[in-house]
Structure 1
Amino acid sequence: MSLPDCLRRMSLPGLSGTLGAVRADRLLSLVLLLRYRGRMTAADLAAELEVSERTVLRDVEALSVAGIPVYAERGRYGGFALLPGFSIDLTGLTPGEAVALLTSGSSATSGALGLHSEFSSAIRKVVAAMPDRARAEAVGAAERVLVRQGGLLRDPADPGPVPVLTAVQQAVFGGTRLRMRYRPGGPAGTDGPAGAGRGGATERVVDPIGLVQASGRWYLLALRDGVDRTYRVSRIEAAEPLDEPAHRPDGVDLEELWLRRRADFRSRHPGVRVRLRLPVARRERLEPMTVESECASGDVLEVTAAFGDLRHAAASIWSLVPEIEVLEPAELRAALHARAVAAAAALAPAAATTPRTGLCPEPGAGPGTELAGPRPSAH
């Protein structure tokens, strides 16, 4: 007889309708806890199920009467357990589907919706229903993925697709080393070897620890030559999982590791704050930025926005000039002014006697058409 059949056949005196459904669900959760975690004390079960120990004892007795092989072990390390070999057939969930569910239960999802206890109950049912080997694979993979609010410095407006994510995920879940071609960018040391700076992509082999999605942007936490590294996945130009097993420390708490690395990064790269002035009607132009504060007076709006560094700020604001005025810092005003001077020089009108000629024929010109401009003298 399957577990659902046992529960349906159980006699629940005095309980009907909603109350009966609540108790049946709690009994199922109790069995799933024992199936997934093994022996548990009455106190642990009570805390997990949010009931009293007396209620747990009554539920255990009811399960025994219904034919569920739950038994008590006496002594200091005793508790309740299921007979070895007892299995539950609830779903045909694949390991991949289970990983998707297990990695979705972050504080940014179920907890934020007020569904933390419901989500935990659902996950217990999903995990306990899986075969032992598939359950071990799914739980192991889920421990290598973290979804959180808040990136390293700021939240991206639209991170866009990440073509290499599948290959990176294969290495992370499979526990293998990863060969990748990585292009550093942003503030020096943002992703990759400290002090790598900006430049072309280079190839490296790393030992993946886990994947973190922070505010929609994926990061790979890894070891390179035994040293902690954090890589932005969107800057990985090519990735190939290797056949070699990765050197991953045991007992990694991915969330704790991510928070520690992010705090360390922010302490080394505090970023810059920029004061901007613009018409209130153009407020939407600030959407890609991280606005920390704003103040309006009539038709004028002043805001303070955060950027990774001056280079990042200049690149973000340049296309908005002159609609947006930079009030401070002075270094950013100077950088934008220098860029404007260079652009003006490049676009300055040419003298009438010196035509601006190109190297290619004008559109529509046929083969053999001579280029405009002065003809070189013969020697």
Structure 2
Amino acid sequence: MPAWRLITTPCVAYCLRVFAVRADRLVSLVLLLRQRGRLSATALARELEVSTRTVLRDVEALSAAGVPVYAERGRHGGFALLPGFRTELTGLNHEEALALLVAGSRRGAQAFGLGSALASAMLKVVDALPESQRHTAAGVAERLLIDPETDLLSRRQVVDEVPDPVAAEIRRAVFAGHRLRIRYAAVGRPPTWRTVDPIGLVTVRDQGYLLATRAGADRTYRLSRVLAAEELAEPAQRPDRVDLDRAWQERGTRFRAGGDQVTALVRVHPVRREDLVGTAVAVLAEGVDPDGRLRLEVSFQDRRHAEWALWQLSTNAEALAPPWLRTALHDRATAVATRYRPCP
């Protein structure tokens, strides 16, 4: 192969990717203006996750292409489309269609690196509706808030962050049935490269997991700990069909049966039950004490996890057993009380 081809081929591929990304962004810009009316450059930049300078360049490109975008000056000005303009650019691409399939949970899409695709797909879906339905849908959507980022106490929900290139490479390998090479950072260990046979992707409580096998043994990898990924050309060694729900349950059973897990007996106020259950690995038994408090037998990943979980509940929970857990919480509380002892 000539030397010039070795140099230019990656450049051409890069340019094509850039053009594809910009084309999707231009379509999203037009759909935003169609559905929301006049928007400032700052608002468009925020929605499209680009700079205001990029928005201005995109508006100029749309105008040159014949899209009737016009600017309104003044304090409440911005960009808008001429009334009645309609575009037929509403076809969903593969990533957007996939995002809609997992849109039952907005954070599920984010966990798999499909958050931006979901936003773009929803714009196209709304734009494809008839005029009368589009306004009705927009009004209804404004009155529904599903799975907000914070709860009533303004506690922000923790969502695994997975870089888009890493998530995309993992998805491609899973869907194509190819082997996958990942650089994985297990807890307490230096990152290492490993080659796996991907089976499927699972999201639980806003955390994404890759189910795979390695040398024939079942493995589960947390997506946020995958630092890099590379889809290989060789086919994955896996069955043609899979029951992911059953596979996840079986792995959960094996996980709870082994490792460094600990079991604790806890008294908890009913209003904090879900907080305890939400952080525990499993609930083994549950009852009600005469005073109305709940008595639960729960398991945790290890000692550190148990101590952390009970500490978060403050006086709303009490560890009854094992003794070492009571001692650990007592020592921590004593240290905090000592630190904040009133000055003489």
Same fold (TM over 0.5): no
Which structure features the higher share of helix residues? 2
Which structure is larger by alpha-carbon Rg, 1 or 2? Answer: 1
Q: TM-score, normalised by structure 2?
A: 0.44
